[in-house]
Every structure is written in C-alpha cells, then in structure tokens.
Chain A
Amino acid sequence: MRVLGIETSCDETGVAVYDSQAGLLAHTLYSQVAVHADYGGVVPELASRDHVRKLLPLIRQTLADANCTGEQIDGIAYTAGPGLVGALMVGGAVGRSLAYAWNIPAIGVHHMEGHLLAPMLETEPPDFPFVALLVSGGHTQLVAVAGIGRYEILGESLDDAAGEAFDKAAKMLDLDYPGGPEIARLAERGDPDRFRFPRPMTDRPGLDFSFSGLKTFTLNTVAEHRGDAVLPDEQTVADIACAFQEAVVDTLVIKCRRALDQTGMKTLVIAGGVSANRRLRNKLEAALARQGARVYYARNEFCTDNGAMIAYAGCQRLLAGQHDDLAIRAIPRWPMDTLPPLGNPDAPKQ
C-alpha cells in the first residue's frame, strides 16, 4: 500500500509518500520558522495562511520526487490533531478532498502517534512493547506502548512541555526561536560546574514532570548576573544554557529509568523535537546500558514535525482496514489513549 502523508499541525508543512513494501519514497518539508521568528513563537493565523500557500506545491513536488502519479496512491493520511485548529484544518481539507477526488480512503492521524512511530522508519526499528518518551514543543509524556493504538499514559508534564521550556529559556537568553537547538549549541561552550539548576519532581515518586519552576530559576539566574546590562556576559550565557540543558536532560533520564523499572520493559523510544538533543541521547544511552535496556530514536529530521511519520502511521491504520468518512477532521485536543487499537476496525473512533 502506498500512502501520501500530510502534516500541518503547527509551523511545518510536511508531505511524504510511504510504501508498505518499498519504504519511504519521498518526503519534503517546508519550515515556517522564519515567518514566526520575529514573534518568538508560533502565530496561529500566520501559520494557517502559510500552509495554504505551501501545501499544494509540496504535494506536487513530493509525488514527482517519489516518481509516482496520483493513480499509484492507495490512501491519504493527514494529521487530524492535536495542534492548532486552523493549521490542522488546511491539511485536513486538502487531504480529505484529494482522497475523495482520487476515490481512495483517507485517515486522520494523531500527531503524537506519528512522532511515536517515527523511529519505525529507521533501518533498525524497535519492537513492541516499549516505553515511549514523547518530548516536543507541546508534549512531555511517558507512554507504555503495547502496540499501535495501545497506549497507557504513565506520566506527563503538569505545566510546560520540555521543548516549550527550551524555547522560553532561549528567549530569556535572547536566542532565536526555536530555542532547543540554540541552547544545545551554546551549552557545548558552557561550564557544567558553574551553576546547578534544580531537577524538578525527581525527589518524589511518580512519572509526572514540571518545567515551569526551571523557567523561573533561569530568569532569576539571568537577573543576578547581568548587572546593569540587558544580558550577562557571553560565557555566563553559555554556562546558563549548559546548566539548563543538564537539568532538563537529567530530569528526563531519571523519569525514563523509573518508567522502565516500573513497567519491567527493556526498550525505550524517544520521539518529538527534543529527542534530537544530543546530550539527552548520550546520557540516556549511558544510563540505560547500565540497566541492560536500549534507547531508539528517529534520525534528526524525523524528530521534529514531518510528513513521513504521518504517512507511516496512517499506512499502518489503513492496512488494518481503518478509514474515515467524508468529514474533515481537526481535533485540537485529543488524548492519545483514546485511539482505537490496531487490528480492530470496528472499535469506536474518536
């Protein structure tokens, strides 16, 4: 089965063609980062307007790259949620109606299921069951994954998502948006022993997260060291970035180990934008090796939003016989544990 995947849930327009036999045939991505850079965050109306302009040309290009015509596509998968409702609506309207025009099935995919399954596109994919750490701009969740659509949320952030915390800390340090890669870059030049930031909620049991205190701590540290200037000196900024990243990474590592202990599983999958973080990957690999477990992640470009993960996730569900009616689905808030399990097409769908 050959599936066209469309992702427009936030500020990237992603399109891909995935073939269940031949694998990923093509994928393209247009990032709106420059559009939103001046605002320090994603502006929903601007995001929607840009998706409208970029999506159709990207679909044409991706089909051409995949060397395939519309007649060779067997199904369309688009991100139905969660995300910005106006942005979701663009991919949904185009995806659903294109499937109607081509007379093929369409399916609305859960964006976080897309992230979660992205490592399946790699040459050495993980086997079920596993624990997944979803760490992105909007989510920080630990999920026990028995199979596709069989998710149990073990813990999540009570306030900011980890990626969001990176973005906010970056803003305090006058770095560009998105802040995660910027902080990671600066942290390499930072002195890890200069500051020690708290590891929130690690001193008590449980698998929930909280990153808003870390934000305040960062703000205070900046204020203490900037004197009369707008920002502390360059080295201090790097030291703060380093301390911040260490605190987030350590917190994530501690909770991942705890989740593996609690479930008795030996496989961890990390997915979402923050899973591109090198320090997180390295520390997890070291920590898990010690307990005989293994960590899997997607290549960098499939950690952040992309069409390939949506094409892959949609293909699995379409292969199992699931598909939508003619309604365009855009579900801004959509708990992942309400998804129907694979292999049971009659299960009620949200």
Chain B
Amino acid sequence: MTTILALDTSMEACSAGLWVDGRIFARKETLQRGHSQKILPMIAQILGQAGIVLSEVNAVAFTSGPGSFTGLRIGFGVVQGLAFGANLPVIPVSTLEVMALSAFHKYNLPEDALILPALDARMNEVYWGVYRAGEKNTTVIQPDRISTPEVIPTLVRESIAAGIGSGWSYNLGQGISANLVDVSLEPNAEDLLVLALNRYQAGDIVAVDTVELSYLRENISWKKRQKLRPESPEKT
C-alpha cells in the first residue's frame, strides 16, 4: 500500500491531499492569509476521512518554492514537524512544476506541450521556468529562476502552449508566442500528489534535514527590523 500526503501553502491557495492506493482525498481553499490556521486542520480532516494515521503515511510531499516567502515557510515548517515527528521521508517539488502539470490537465494539452509557468516576484521580477508536461510527469526544459520580464523572450525561443501564473500579468505575451494564457492558475495538492507519487515510486525521496527552500531571490534591499510594540509611533 502506498500512502502519500501532500501540502501546498506557497501561494494564495492552501491545499492538502492524500493518496491512498489510487484513492485521493483533498481539501483546498483560496485565502489571502490564514494558511497557518487552516493547513493542519485540513491535514487532520483528510487523514480522518481516509482512516489513516500519520505513521502509516509513506512520504510527505510539498511545494518547496518559489512562492510567498512566509507561505513556503509555513508549508515547510509543517512538513518538518510531521516528518521529524513521525519519522517520514519527504518529497520537495517545484511550485512551478506543479503549476505546469495543473495546466496540462486543466487545458487538456497535448503530450510534449511546452508550458511556461511564471509567478510575480514583485519589484519588476518574475520567477519562471519552462516544462514539458505529460500525463503523469514533467520534464524540466529551463530550470526555475528569477529575472526581469524583459529577459524571458530572449531566453525562450520555442513556441509555448500555455503561459500560466501571475507572472504573465507582466505582458510576457508580447515577446513570447503562447497559445493560451491563464494568469490566475495556482498550484494545488492534487497535481502535487501525482508528481510526488512518481518520485516516490522512482525512489526519489529525501530526509527532511537535507531540504532547502528555493526562494530564488537571495538579494534584496532587506527591510530593517520592524516595530515590535503596537502603541509606539513608527521608528525612523
């Protein structure tokens, strides 16, 4: 019996999914904030519904970036607690890769279609990559990276079947030919489960201690310490 737990809190969607030998149990909500309050109850619900206890799970999959920094840390923090507590291996998956598979299913794209998921990284930058999607798997064509939107057309010469994610609101379509664009598509735990199952079967699992989040953005003009006390006026 193979049982995989998956969770995603990397963007506005907050979702959890459980694969139990072909049966899928899933929860999803779209939230501006409050992922931290919802994610563990969601996990408890689907485990309860499936009649599974955490120690029976074989591996925990999660989106390890890119995405909202805090969102990624909530997801990974929960994974660290669960994996350490129940002694489980983990399967980190790129947020962009999950989105590529979601687009493949949502739009019934042909096998071998090229998909360019892109997320708004703010400050006139986007996180993006290029994937070739299939029914159950994806292939990395260009690895995830961060760049200005203008750079992307100079690096992507192929014709793109689907441009997806908030990064496409930068009008990437002007420089890249994409058959369809969906700026609102977000990753979800069900597609994450499909990818995770494949990895699990290929033995592609890791110990939780070896995982690093892929923020992609390493250098920004870091904001100084914020005020801790409510009553005081803003500091200069």
Contacts and interface: CB of A to CB of B under 8 A. Distances in A.
Contact of A326 (B44, B213, B220, B223): B44
A139 interface: yes
Contact of A157 (B37, B43, B80, B232): B232
Contacts of A42: 225
Interface stretch (A124-132, A193-201, A233-241, A328-336): A328-336
B85 interface: yes
Interface stretch (A14-22, A92-100, A278-286): A92-100
A160 B213 CA distance: 35
Interface in A28-68: 39-46, 48-49, 52-53, 55-57, 59-60
Contacts of A325: 41
Contacts of A333: 228-230
A90 B77 contact: yes
Nearest to B85: A101
Contacts, number: 142
B189 to A, nearest CB: 16
B219 to A, nearest CB: 11
B58 interface: no
A70 B220 CA distance: 39
A243 B128 CA distance: 56
A224 B8 CA distance: 57
B44 A92 contact: no
Interface stretch (B68-76, B113-121, B132-140, B169-177): B68-76
Interface string B121-158: 00000000000000000000000000000000000000
A330 B82 contact: no
B36 interface: yes
Given A70-B85, A93-B81, A327-B41, A138 B74 contact: no
A101 B86 contact: yes
Given A95-B81, A101-B81, A83 B228 contact: yes
B203 interface: no
Interface residues of B, number: 41
Contacts of A330: 36
B77 to A, nearest CB: 3
A103 to B, nearest CB: 9
Contacts of A94: 77-78, 80-81
A328 B229 contact: no
Contacts of B76: 52, 93
Contact of A43 (B41, B82, B209, B222): B222
B36 A327 contact: yes
B70 A89 contact: yes
Interface of A: 10, 39-46, 48-49, 52-53, 55-57, 59-60, 70, 82-86, 89-90, 92-102, 137-139, 156-161, 325-330, 332-333, 335
Given A70-B85, A89-B70, A95-B81, 8 more contacts: A10-B228, A49-B213, A52-B76, A56-B84, A89-B77, A102-B85, A326-B44, A333-B230
